[in-house]
A and B are shown apart, each in its own frame.
Chain A
Amino acid sequence: MSVENKKLRRKLDRLFVPLTVGPTLVWIAAIIVYPTVQLLLSSLQFRNPITNEMQFVGLRNFQRLLFAREGGSAVLGVFNPNFVSFTANTVVYVGFSVTISFLLGLGIALLLNKDLKGRGWLRTAVIVPWIMPYVMSGLMWRWMFQTEYGAINGVLTQFGIIADNIPFLSDGTLAMMALIVADVWVFTPFIIIILLAGLQNVPEQLYDAAEVDGASRWSRFWNVTYPFLKPSILVALTIRIIFDIRALDLVWVMTGGGPGKATEVWASWLYRTAQVFNEPGPGAALGVVLLATTFVIVAVLYSVFGDSPYNA
């Protein structure tokens, strides 16, 4: 090879990394960095409804959403009652949905990991709720929980469990319960799939070793299964919580945040603020709050489940 050829080759070699990574970086910048920066900027602005001009208002959007107005009612002395109530709704909705679907998903995954007859068929069947569009699932559950002709009231009446139809979606607490049921139904399959994949990676010999060591079932789960499942739990919970915090579809379709504001969660509040009330600045501010909260939750999850045998 001539000296010129060698030089050219080296030059091409040096270009390899920028050429391959470059487009990805540009893409990431376009879809992540730019919108995030735009979100942060918007959160500090307010659109004048008359002139349609964006004005810089500093942290006033945050102040208006999170803290009580002067002279207005306040929770704990300073907080905006709406903020507190919607946060509580979000915590209840996300907390119950994630906890129930996680425990249910783990149980089913453990079951499907055993040598059962028809296991392959069952594995396929459990995914069905998840592959349905969320809006469709929402509509389906709204109909199921409908007071007059809903399937659930129908079944309960038929079996003589209730005498009068229950107004599931027009009672605050019941509406939240209905939302949680629908959410669990939609998202449990996702948990099952992720945890099942994790379970299949546990080395069989470790169960043998634990059996010989005299570990009880519980101890085997805790000392063998759980450590290997931690990365899957981390992925499942992270994605699950992120999905739920920003999930709008089910809530919007099933209850629209109501009755009243009984099921208004952060995601529906954000949508209402930004789209229905046409206030992009406060909407963006809520987006920032949502984003920050998500980061904190992910950090906590990592600290709990981040350590696993795979990085031992």
Chain B
Amino acid sequence: MANVHLNELVKEFDDVTAVDGISLEIPDESFTVFVGPSGCGKTTTLRLIAGLERATDGEIRIGEEVVNDSRAYERDIAMVFQNYALYPHKTVRDNMRFGLEQHDTPEEVIEERVGETAELLQIEELLDRRPAELSGGQQQRVALGRAIVRDPSVFLMDEPLSNLDAKLRVQMRAELNKLHEQLSTTTVYVTHDQVEAMTLADQIAVMDDGQIQQVGAPTHVYRNPRNMFVAGFLGSPSMNFIEGELEAANTGKLRLDLGMHAHNIPDEYADRLNDRLGERIILGIRPEDVSLSQDGVAANVHPGTVLVVEPQGEKTVLEVELETGQTVKAAVAPDMSVETGDEVNLRFDRDSLHYFDPESGESLIYDLKTKAKVTS
């Protein structure tokens, strides 16, 4: 077991900076997920930790040891690859044995470990088959087995579930969770699938453009995004962003001009946003925090016309056009009878509001929200 420490890590390929000075503490026994869109540098980061790429700058520590110059096999890590990377000409048993054999592990230990791991993953009956004779899910288990059998300090997983069908992915996700509970090995996991990231991680690092945009517990990051990228990346359908001008109401309170019906800024954020009076800012609200109001027109209720109705089973997603022409998505209960063209009133949940700077995309109230969380 070991923690992993990344300090100002940089990786450049010719003219491209794939990893741009990231620092992160990955605690011992944690399940840390790097999540981000394609090309954000998450896989490169994983490969840097694995020792499959050499860092251009910065430091990687596994446990107490700086491993920048160590070869992959000296780092006591095991990796699960996106396409499994099983040796196709070797049986499942030999695939699992291979890593141990390279380290001159005694035969009886190899046999014992392979046996135990196969039992843990329920792949005993597959041991004498070759990868081509296995289904995707089974290959995935073998790939996990090959990593587990080595009993490394750190597991590195590069989008291991992305080649599985939706149902199997959900099942394997649960199994990965269970395995992590059983083995407690520090795990660094890379995915572009935010649901996978949210369900597996106890620490999530959202990456974009070679940089970590935000790190934290999944729910915390989800509820308190530091910037518009994180806010928009996590969650499906993603967060609504509505741009408007900050103005002072007759009452002296701050409000966001959204056409006919202004959006009142809650008092706790007023001080912070006061200096931006007359400027444009962006209101962020997640679709599940937008509800249909039965009260008619009232404060913070915005009338609009339903453009699209998307029943998704457990919820129905509505796309509503506000009077300003901006569209807002709302996730409502599936039994709500709404049709295209209906006039509806949208209510934004007061506790779930976010405000962003339109230029930098940074949250204007991140610290206020997190402080409120801590004190409440």
Query: Which A residues contact B (CB, under 8 angstroms)?
Result: 203, 205-206, 208-216, 219, 223-224, 227, 307-309, 312
B251: interface (CB < 8 Å) = no
Residues of B within 8 A of A307 (CB): 89
Whether the pair A209, B85 counts as a contact (CB closer than 8 A) is yes
Partner of A223, one of B50, B98, B103: B98
Residues of B within 8 A of A227 (CB): 87-89
Q: Please name the 4 residue pairs, one residue from A and one from B, whose CB atoms are nearest each other, closest first.
A: A214-B73, A213-B99, A309-B88, A205-B85
Whether the pair A208, B102 counts as a contact (CB closer than 8 A) is no
CA distance A203 to B86 in the complex (A): 10
Residues of A within 8 A of B131 (CB): 312
Whether the pair B83, A223 counts as a contact (CB closer than 8 A) is no
B350: interface (CB < 8 Å) = no
Of the candidate stretches B74-82, B278-286, B322-330, the one touching chain A is: B74-82
CA distance A216 to B101 in the complex (A): 11
Residues of B within 8 A of A210 (CB): 98
Q: A interface, by DSSP: helix, strand, loop or mixed?
A: helix
CA distance A212 to B83 in the complex (A): 15
Residues of A within 8 A of B146 (CB): 209, 213
How distant is B165 from chain A, measured CB to nearest CB, in Å?
21
14 contacts between A and B (CB under 8 A): A203-B83, A203-B85, A206-B85, A208-B47, A208-B79, A210-B98, A211-B52, A213-B102, A223-B98, A224-B87, A227-B88, A227-B89, A307-B89, A308-B89
Query: Which B residues contact A (CB, under 8 angstroms)?
Result: 47, 50-52, 71-73, 77-79, 81-83, 85-90, 98-99, 102-103, 130-132, 146, 150
**B156's closest neighbor in chain A, by CB?**
A212
How distant is B326 from chain A, measured CB to nearest CB, in Å?
45
**A220's closest neighbor in chain B, by CB?**
B102
CA distance A214 to B97 in the complex (A): 12
Please report the number of residue pairs spanning A and B whose Cβ atoms sit closer than 8 angstroms: 68
Interface centre among B81, B146, B150 (most CB of A within 10 A): B81
Partner of A211, one of B73, B83, B130: B73
**B83's closest neighbor in chain A, by CB?**
A205
Residues of A within 8 A of B103 (CB): 214
How distant is B152 from chain A, measured CB to nearest CB, in Å?
9
CA distance A218 to B337 in the complex (A): 68
Partner of B87, one of A209, A211, A216, A308: A209
Whether the pair A212, B87 counts as a contact (CB closer than 8 A) is no
Residues of A within 8 A of B150 (CB): 213
A213-B73, A214-B73, A223-B98 are known contacts. Are A312 and B79 too (CB-CB below 8 A)? no
Residues of B within 8 A of A214 (CB): 72-73, 99, 102-103
Residues of B within 8 A of A224 (CB): 87
CA distance A101 to B292 in the complex (A): 79
CA distance A214 to B71 in the complex (A): 9
Interface centre among A211, A213, A308 (most CB of B within 10 A): A213
A214-B102, A215-B102, A223-B87 are known contacts. Are A209 and B81 too (CB-CB below 8 A)? yes
Residues of A within 8 A of B88 (CB): 227, 309, 312
How distant is A20 from chain B, measured CB to nearest CB, in Å?
31
Whether the pair B132, A212 counts as a contact (CB closer than 8 A) is no
**B91's closest neighbor in chain A, by CB?**
A312
CA distance A309 to B130 in the complex (A): 10
Whether the pair A209, B79 counts as a contact (CB closer than 8 A) is yes
Partner of A212, one of B78, B86, B90, B130: B78
Residues of A within 8 A of B102 (CB): 213-216, 219
CA distance A236 to B52 in the complex (A): 32
**A215's closest neighbor in chain B, by CB?**
B102
CA distance A210 to B131 in the complex (A): 16
Whether the pair B98, A309 counts as a contact (CB closer than 8 A) is no
How distant is A290 from chain B, measured CB to nearest CB, in Å?
34
A223-B98, A312-B132 are known contacts. Are A212 and B89 too (CB-CB below 8 A)? no
CA distance A238 to B78 in the complex (A): 40
Interface centre among B77, B81, B85, B103 (most CB of A within 10 A): B85
How distant is B187 from chain A, measured CB to nearest CB, in Å?
15
Partner of B72, one of A211, A223, A308: A211
A214-B103, A215-B102 are known contacts. Are A208 and B85 too (CB-CB below 8 A)? yes
Whether the pair B98, A212 counts as a contact (CB closer than 8 A) is no
Residues of A within 8 A of B51 (CB): 211-212
Residues of B within 8 A of A205 (CB): 81-83, 85
**A308's closest neighbor in chain B, by CB?**
B89
**A230's closest neighbor in chain B, by CB?**
B89
CA distance A212 to B102 in the complex (A): 10
Residues of B within 8 A of A309 (CB): 87-89
